[in-house]
Amino acid sequence: MGKNVRELALDLLINIDRNQAYSNIALNQAITDHQVKPIDAGLLTEIVYGTLQHKLTIDFYLKPFLQKRVEDWVQMLLRLSVYQMVYLDKVPEHAILNEAVEIAKKRGHEGIASVVNGVLRNIQRKGLPSIEKVQDECERLSLATSHPRWIIALWIDQYGFDATKQICEINLLPPVQTARVNTAKATREAVIQMLAEEGFVASAHPVLSDCIENSRGNMALSNAHRDGLLTIQDASSMLVADVVGPEAGELILDACAAPGGKTTHLLERLNGSGKVVALDIHKHKIKLVKKTAARLGVSNLETMQLDARKAIEEFDRGTFDRVLVDAPCSGLGVLRRKPDAKYEKSYADVQRLAVIQVDLLTKIAPLVKNGGTLVYSTCTINKEENEEVVSTFLLNNREYEMDLTLSDRMPKELRPYVHDNHLQVLPQYMNSDGFFIAAFRKKDIH
């Protein structure tokens, strides 16, 4: 590895900031390209994700010490240095400071190195400004948990201050890796044992019967994953298959299928009978669905590159027993996994997506058989894209009603969170992604 960990972290953070690169993809690519050792990869991941995760807080800390605007890369170097000083206990401050000054010299010149040195030594000497002194509670929570103010205001309006604070605080913790066991091939206990033999620390999920949690290593690199015994998937999104409830021999449409986690879960439930037709608008994403299905060894899959809004041009009305619309959304439920995303989104995005979601549901609705099921899910925790979309859809599609069996299909631990026949999982409910699921039944009209 030519560059040291902090130089590499700086390059990555600049790339993510300038090019809106996905942090997880950019990080994995850098670890591979630079042949980063596992011990260094851990620190690199910590610095990159941590700096992104706490960016607004760090900028608040830096503001009193920056007399004039500095170049973007210098700002980023100061951010990652302050992140280490504030949040990493094991790295001595003098080492962080010396490293930052060396990087500034190498990348810039002595003058920039002097500015970096001055700012960091001032912080050491004077201490950090107090967020607690900020009077406005919305602004204070925004700065303390590094969530943009508009997101905080939205959630306070929808869930109240205490629930919003819980969401924000859990979003700052490292996400738990979970996987769905392919029970057609192995039991959960057998897979946990296999993972233990490889050095992973996996255990049974406390709520979901075919889910495991892992606290060491990446299960995507395990033999169990390679051999199709598990699929990396968040616990909350595994609930979708329970709500869709596929039965033997049925024809099911997954309208927005990539990368294939839910598609293959439905296929596993069909156990070799029936068929799932998986659509996605992007050709490369359809390849991901096929690849996941092949690895898991599930059959009876048909894939099509198609905008789900045009599906009515390809299929007859009433073709499918069950349809899943896992809609494109703002992703406000997965900010814990994608810390960079919270700074890129806007309230205008939320409004635009809600319109698309209603349009998607309305155009896909005729494909469901009379008496059939239409399931709508998102990985957001914003009511305008969830409950309000459900209300608008029902208002405009009188042949549909809420499926009253949704609560019965939930694990008992989650039933208290089913309201008006839909489920909103907040991240704190089971230490998972935020997720929404609603199910509609098409009236059996003869």
Distance CA 60, CA 82 (A): 11
Does residue 379 carry a catalytic annotation? yes
Q: What is the DSSP letter of 128?
A: P
Q: Which two tokens stand for residue 440?
A: 């509609």
160, exposed or middle or buried, with CB in 10 Å at 0-12, 13-18, 19+? exposed
Q: Which long-range contacts (CB under 8 A, 24 or more apart) does 153-157 make?
A: 154/347, 154/350, 154/382, 155/381
Distance CA 440, CA 444 (A): 12
3-state helix, strand, coil split of the chain in percent (to 5) is 55, 15, 30
Q: Among residues 168, 211, 329, 379, which one is catalytic? A: 379
Distance CA 215, CA 234 (A): 14
Could you tell me where the DSSP H helices lie in 127-229?
Answer: 137-145, 149-159, 161-171, 188-197, 223-226
Q: At what angle do helices 72-87 and 110-126 cross, to 10 degrees?
A: 30
Q: Could you tell me the CA-to-CA distances from 257 to 135, 223, 230, 244 in Å, in that order?
A: 46, 25, 18, 14
- Which of 436, 314, 305, 304 is closest to 375 using CA atoms? 436
Q: What is the DSSP letter of 256?
A: T
Dihedral sign for Cα atoms in the order 150, 152, 157, 158? positive
Longest dimension (CA), the chain: 82
Q: Which two tokens stand for residue 296?
A: 């898991």
139, exposed or middle or buried, with CB in 10 Å at 0-12, 13-18, 19+? middle
The Cα angle at residue 354 between residues 322 and 236, in degrees rounded to 5: 55
Catalytic residue annotation: 379
